[in-house]
Amino acid sequence: MQTEEILERLECVSGDYPQYMARCPAHNDNRPSLSLRDLKDKTLINCFAGCEAKDIMNAIGLELKDLYKN
């Protein structure tokens, strides 16, 4: 899955390629604390509140493997 397709499922997306911020779907996020980085082969995600990548992806109906682009 492409990074753009993940971004489409998130709220309050800001930033420009390759670095974005969005509201974390896995916790009650008042302001965007989820960072996303568009890498060559995958999307790197990190919640500053410490949410697991798996929980973040599940919250938007995706799986961990969807972080990979092929």
Does residue 12 bind Zn ion (CB under 5 A)?
no
The residue within the footprint of Zn ion, chosen from 22, 47, 57, 67 (CB under 5 A), is 47
Q: Rounded to the nearest whole angstrom, what is the least distance from the CB of residue 23 to Zn ion in the complex? A: 9
Q: In whole angstroms, how close is the CB of 56 to Zn ion at the nearest point?
A: 6
The arrangement of strands across the sheet holding 43-47 comes to: 11-16, 19-23, 34-38, 43-47
For 27, the token pair is: 């916790």
What are the phi and psi torsion angles at 58 (to 5°)?
-60, -35
Binding site for Zn ion (CB under 5 A): 24, 26-27, 47, 49, 51
